[in-house]
Amino acid sequence: MSRVSLRRTALACLIAVPSLLVLLVPAAAASSTDETELAARYAPVVVVREHPTPCGPGEALRPTAVETVLGRREVTLVGPDGSQISGPTAADLRGRGEGWYLDLPGDPLDPGCDYERWFDAAAAGRPATVYARVSRDADHADTLVLQYWFFWTYNDWNDKHEGDWEMIQLLFPARTATEALRTSPSSVAYAQHEGSEVAGWDDPKLHREGDRVAVFPGEGSHAAYYTQAQWFGRSAAAGFGCDDTLAPGVRLDPEVVLLPDRPLGDFAWLTFTGRWGEKAPSFNNGPTGPATKAQWDAPVTWQLEQGRQAAVALPVVGGPSVTAFCELTQAGSLAFISLLDKPWLVLGIAVGVLVLLVVLVWRTDWFNDDDPTLDRRRKAGQIAFAGLDTVRKHPGAFWVPGALVVGGVALNLLVGRLLLRARPGADLTDVNGFGDQVAGIGLALLASFLVLPVIAFAMAVTVESVDALAHGRPIDAPTAFRRVLVHPGGWLAALLAYVLVTVLAATWLLLPVALWLLSRWAVALPATELEDQGVRRGLRSSSSLTRGHRWRSALLGAFLVWLAFSLPAGVGAVVLLVTGWPFWLSDLVSLAVAAIAIPATAVALTLLYYDLRARSTASVPAAA
């Protein structure tokens, strides 16, 4: 090539390069502007559960900017060698990975109200924040992905850990943000624990305000749901326990921050692949950040492979199995967390309880009881076993109380669900209209309390049938029913005594009071019913009969109360956990168990009454 040609080529390049820059820079700027517009157009509305009282129920936190935890002296970045950086910045987090973690002030296994108070101070004046990201999937070039990432400072659910990253995403049939602005999303996915739930853009379950989607985070867990309900989970993908997004809610309109393609400067924290919370045992470890998640690099593939069509909503009025499942999973998780936090204390208590149970079981007989006579002395274990055995041997004598139990509980559930049917709400904070149903909720609670007299009545009918069997009187279940109608003292005494004891025992603080009352009122029902006394005299009679046998009466009475009121629901919860049966069928199993367990409890209490009466008579000296 001649010198003239080289000069011409060089001149052409000098002219062409600025020209290309002029063309490319506006295009890149336009693309960035379109991404910002796209992120703002579909910015989610976040509805958290109302939190009216500090340190009380409801969602105490808000999705926030990472700057809430950065640059604060009380927050520490800890390295794998134990080195510490106080008040870490985004630059301190840049590129750090395995073994590094942020340590927020507080104990994740024993949070109390510490994280709420710290967040209130650290986030004061900051708006709720959500991070938007426009992304693509290499395996799905024709789909544009718009992600929204939520950062929460603490996860307070069945698992407890510092830091919590959650997200949702929208898929567009487009290659660029410019194209996406001219169309609508094809589908969305909400991350829930280790899985996700998907929906079409026009799916009725997806609540929208124009183009803005509504997100309902589970209280404490922050898993993203499409509407307000209680949610059932029994796997890692769906969570293990019950999530709660029920109304009333509080609307948040988070500030949208668009994440850049290159994580520099204030966004250098995106390259941090360590943990955003303190290291803790088991599932209480702090989580890693967005860039470590499968949906960061392969969002469409993640949605297709892990997305499920629906989460499982619990009935508005949960039956016994549903309620027990939620309570047991929560209690079990908290017990496990306590074990991790204070292993020696928890193990010591567990060993102590186990030793007590072994001693109690060992000191009594259960099956060595060949005497068919009902009205006599028995050992505690024989009384408990004889209650079930008597119902088994004489089913015809106890079908009425069993039917009363099933009918009463079933009617209560039906009435509750009729009173609390979903009604469309006025805005996104109460999309199902549950938050405004004050009257309906009150009536449903009243219906729940009204089932207790039915159970007490059924137990009184059982007592009459047992006494007839014990003394060879011809009586059938309907006749026993009529006798209780004529003499209502027995079931009223049972209602007062056993319900009060059960309510008090529901709190650890009042458990000693419950046991103290139970030690005196253990046989209030048969004493009142069989001696044809009023409630007050029946309670006095029970207190007199149990004198000198208070520990025995309290422990046996507690076991029998558990048999009647906890075992049926517990069995239903286990059925719910290990089978794929519908909720109504697991509740039916609970009712079937209750139809046996409650009459068996009443039988055993009657046998305890006979036992105490025989012991009391034997202790009185014969007349001269």
- Say whether both 257 and 405 belong to one domain: no
Question: pLDDT tens digit string along 408-446?
Answer: 898 888 887 777 777 777 789 998 877 776 656 666 666
Residue 225: count other Cβ atoms within 10 Å of its Cβ: 23
Flag whether pLDDT at 102 surpasses 90: yes
Q: Which pLDDT value is given to residue 282?
A: 80
18 found inside a domain: no
- Domain edge (last residue) among 265, 288, 313: 313
Higher local confidence (pLDDT), 470 or 28:
470
Between CA 401 and CA 598 the distance in angstroms is: 8
Domain containing residue 296: 44-313
Flag whether pLDDT at 618 surpasses 70: no
Tell me which DSSP letter residue 141 carries.
E
Between CA 540 and CA 546 the distance in angstroms is: 10
Q: Map residue 144 onto helix, strand or coil.
A: strand
Instruction: Give the residue from 374, 444, 396 showing the smallest Cα distance to 606.
Output: 374
Going by their DSSP bridges, the two strands 129-137 and 140-156 should be labelled as antiparallel
Confidence tier at 483 by pLDDT (50, 70, 90): confident
464 found inside a domain: yes
Between CA 310 and CA 203 the distance in angstroms is: 11
- Say whether both 79 and 168 belong to one domain: yes
Q: Which pLDDT value is given to residue 281?
A: 84
Sign of the torsion formed by the C-alpha atoms of 170, 172, 175 and 177: negative
- Say whether both 444 and 552 belong to one domain: yes
Residue 341: count other Cβ atoms within 10 Å of its Cβ: 17
- Say whether both 413 and 484 belong to one domain: yes
Flag whether pLDDT at 14 surpasses 50: no
Q: Which pLDDT value is given to residue 441?
A: 66
Residues in the chain: 624
- Say whether both 300 and 376 belong to one domain: no
- Say whether both 402 and 486 belong to one domain: yes
Flag whether pLDDT at 357 surpasses 80: no
Q: Map residue 188 onto helix, strand or coil.
A: strand
Residue 508: count other Cβ atoms within 10 Å of its Cβ: 7
Q: What are phi and psi of 48, to 5 degrees?
A: -100, 160
- Say whether both 462 and 603 belong to one domain: yes
- Domain edge (last residue) among 296, 313, 330: 313
| Of the listed ranges 29-33, 55-59, 338-342, 562-566, the one predicted with least confidence | 29-33
Q: Which pLDDT value is given to residue 351?
A: 85
| Of the listed ranges 368-377, 513-522, 525-534, 555-564, the one predicted with least confidence | 368-377
Q: Which pLDDT value is given to residue 568?
A: 94
Question: Quick one: tokens of 172?
Answer: 């567009």
Question: pLDDT tens digit string along 149-203?
Answer: 999 999 999 999 999 999 999 999 999 999 999 999 999 999 999 899 999 999 9
Q: Which pLDDT value is given to residue 438?
A: 62
Q: Which pLDDT value is given to residue 16?
A: 42
Q: Which pLDDT value is given to residue 115?
A: 97
Q: Which pLDDT value is given to residue 124?
A: 93
- Say whether both 388 and 273 belong to one domain: no
Question: pLDDT tens digit string along 265-301?
Answer: 999 999 999 999 999 888 899 999 999 999 999 999 9
476 found inside a domain: yes
Q: Which pLDDT value is given to residue 550?
A: 92
Between CA 504 and CA 513 the distance in angstroms is: 7
- Say whether both 474 and 605 belong to one domain: yes
- Domain edge (last residue) among 262, 296, 313: 313
Q: Which pLDDT value is given to residue 126?
A: 94
11 found inside a domain: no
Between CA 623 and CA 607 the distance in angstroms is: 27
Confidence tier at 29 by pLDDT (50, 70, 90): very low
326 found inside a domain: no
Count of the separate structural domains present in the chain: 2
308 found inside a domain: yes
Single-letter amino acid, residue 243: D
Question: Quick one: tokens of 78?
Answer: 């800890």
Higher local confidence (pLDDT), 256 or 477:
256
- String of DSSP letters for 280-344: -SGGGSPPB-GGGSHHHH-HHHHHHHHEES--EEPPSS--HHHHHHHHHHHHHHHHHHHHHHSHH
CB 607 within 8 A of CB 615: no
The upper half-sphere exposure of residue 184, i.e. CA atoms within 13 Å in the direction of its Cβ, equals: 10
Between CA 552 and CA 136 the distance in angstroms is: 70
Q: What average pLDDT does the structure give for the chain?
A: 87
Average pLDDT of the residues in 137-143: 93
Flag whether pLDDT at 336 surpasses 60: yes
614 found inside a domain: yes
As beta bridge partners, residue 189 has 169, 198
Between CA 379 and CA 368 the distance in angstroms is: 10
Question: Among 101-115, 345-359, 455-469, which range has the highest average pLDDT?
Answer: 101-115
30 found inside a domain: no
Going by their DSSP bridges, the two strands 239-244 and 255-258 should be labelled as unpaired
